[in-house]
């Protein structure tokens, strides 16, 4: 039986690139997104291109009850999860003192709490098996403040802290934990910005770095992957 990777937010951007990378390595994949049509299109493409199977559930990862449904969906497959990539989340620009009311709550729900609850649902089995790898998609915003970062930066600082705590808790149980901190990556979040594509990181480069970290022997772990555009932050 193929190994199984759970990758949240898998239809676009970095998540899509990671899905395609693991699919090319013959992993079966479980993913989620809000748009059913995009998920069905992804399934059709992957299963016709690679030797693998895609399982999906259309949900909003910022809603706790739907996250719970996603966890139950995964458990219902009756298969061990080898890799978990906490990728779901979103960015909205703003400053702490004048961003829209509710911005912090919305981004904490999507960027932090979704990862927290999915991990709590899946990691206990990894711990029992003494095997597994958990990635959380942080950001350079997890380690530096910048104008208009606002609540996004707060949520990503928290996600990096979550990954560090998880690493400390699981290192003696054979489960590897990695925080991924990409800089400006050419995804839909940057649509409309008048900068050339070569000023951005390729989503595929992030996916390659994730898979390379996974591919190390169980004796080693990459705790943090920091990736920036060659010409520096934007």
pLDDT in tens, 60-78: 999 999 999 999 999 999 9
d(CA 32, CA 38): 10
Q: What is the pLDDT of residue 186?
A: 87
Could you count the other beta carbons within 10 Å of the beta carbon of residue 229? 19
CB 87 within 8 A of CB 138: no
Q: What is the pTM of this model?
A: 0.96
How large is the angle between the packed helices 13-24 and 203-214, nearest 10 degrees? Answer: 50
Region of residue 174 (phi > 0: left; psi between -120 and 50: alpha; otherwise: beta) = left
d(CA 121, CA 148): 33
For the beta sheet containing 224-227, the strands, ordered from the edge strand earlier in sequence to the opposite edge, are 54-58, 28-33, 4-8, 83-86, 132-137, 175-182, 224-227
Q: What is the pLDDT of residue 159?
A: 98
Q: Point out the residues of the chain with pLDDT beneath 70.
A: none
CA angle 131, 9, 34 (to 5 degrees): 135
What CATH number has the domain spanning 4-227? 3.40.50.720
Q: What is the pLDDT of residue 234?
A: 86
Could you count the other beta carbons within 10 Å of the beta carbon of residue 5? 27
Q: How far is residue 14 from each of residues 31, 71, 134, measured CA to CA in Å?
A: 13, 22, 16
């Amino acid at each position: 039986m193929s190994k199984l990777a759970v990758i949240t937010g898998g239809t676009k951007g970095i998540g899509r690139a990671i899905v395609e990378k693991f699919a090319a390595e013959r992993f079966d994949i479980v993913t989620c997104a809000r748009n059913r049509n995009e998920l069905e299109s992804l399934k059709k493409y992957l299963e016709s291109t690679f030797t693998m199977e895609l399982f999906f559930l259309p949900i909003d990862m910022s809603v706790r009850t739907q996250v719970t449904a996603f966890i139950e969906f995964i458990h219902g497959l009756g298969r061990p999860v080898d890799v978990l990539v906490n990728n779901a989340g979103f960015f909205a620009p703003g400053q702490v003192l004048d961003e829209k009311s509710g911005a912090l709550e919305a981004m904490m729900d999507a960027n932090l709490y979704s990862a927290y609850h999915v991990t709590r649902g899946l990691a206990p089995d990894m711990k029992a098996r003494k095997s597994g790898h958990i990635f959380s998609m942080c950001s350079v915003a997890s380690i530096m403040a910048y104008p208009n970062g606002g609540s996004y930066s707060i949520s990503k600082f928290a996600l990096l802290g979550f990954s560090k705590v998880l690493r400390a808790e699981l290192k003696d149980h054979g489960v590897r934990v990695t925080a991924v901190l990409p800089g400006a990556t050419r995804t839909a979040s940057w649509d409309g910005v008048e900068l050339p594509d070569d000023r951005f990181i390729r989503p595929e480069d992030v996916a390659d770095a994730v898979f390379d970290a996974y591919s190390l022997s169980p004796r080693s772990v990459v705790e943090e992957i920091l990736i920036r555009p060659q010409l520096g932050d934007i």
